[in-house]
Structure 1
Amino acid sequence: MFDINGGEFLILLLVAAIVIGPQRLPGYAEQLGALVRKARVWMKDAKGRIDTEMGDDAIDLDWTTLDPRRYDPRRIVRDALLEPDARQVPAVARVGAVSAPVGGAAPFDDEAT
């Protein structure tokens, strides 16, 4: 999130301890602890509300099937090319279609705007 490694974090803590001072450091540490406890309670409540709203659907979901590392684009394309096209209309259905007469007036449509 902040792209800070362990050494940089220790330096920041040391600078904060020097700037805050030894008299105020226990008070700020206590406030930080209270903030962390409140954040944990808030996250636990939020997770509980999400679980109750989602119901059993979220529990039964298999997350491994949605892993993007499992998708192979070559396999997906190969499967799409090998399966029959469901959109093709059979030749029998095309023969039975009747075309409108050419050159005549278009029929009146009451529902047209």
Structure 2
Amino acid sequence: MFGLTFEKILIIGIIAVFLLGPDKLPLYAAQLGRLVRQLRDMANGAKDRIRDEMGPEFDELDWKKLDPRQYDPRRIIREALTEETPLKEQSATLSRASPAAASLLGTAALSSLGPRTPSSVTRAPFDTEAT
């Protein structure tokens, strides 16, 4: 939790004993215990409220799937780029692509589509007043 190991917690405790002294240490330890208990109760209350508002769907939710730590942008992009699409769908997409996008996709894919006529080329909108 927060990168704290037992040794670090022990050092923090020893420093606290020296700084606070034996008189105030039990008072501050009790306050810390109450704070942790209140935070835990608040978290449980929020969880119960969400469970009440969402109903039975809350228990059916796969929380591991929604964990933001599992998202690796490199993996997502790699999977999206290596995703195999059917040839017909790919050729339809390439025939509607702009020349810039077509050059990004590669000339090998375009050569299989045949020659392009000027009427089939659509240009991206251009705003002359844009800064």
Per the normalisation by structure 1, the TM-score is 0.55
Residues 8, 61 of structure 1: CA spacing in aligned structure 2 closer, same or farther, 3 A cutoff? closer
| Deviation, structure 1 residue 17 | 1.1
Residues 66, 73 of structure 1: CA spacing in aligned structure 2 closer, same or farther, 3 A cutoff? farther
**SS of corresponding position for 1:77:** coil
> Between Structure 1 and Structure 2, how many residues are aligned?
84
Structure 2 segments unaligned to the other structure (5+ residues): 93-131
Per the normalisation by structure 2, the TM-score is 0.48
Matched residues, percent identical?
37
Root mean square deviation, CA, Å: 3.4
Residue of structure 2 equivalent to 1:82: 86
Rounded Cα–Cα distance in structure 1 between residues aligned with 2:79 and 2:30: 53
| Deviation, structure 1 residue 66 | 6.2
The structure whose Rg is larger is 1
Residues 73, 66 of structure 1: CA spacing in aligned structure 2 closer, same or farther, 3 A cutoff? farther
Rounded Cα–Cα distance in structure 2 between residues aligned with 1:8 and 1:77: 47
The amino acid that maps onto 2:45 is D
Residues 58, 31 of structure 1: CA spacing in aligned structure 2 closer, same or farther, 3 A cutoff? same
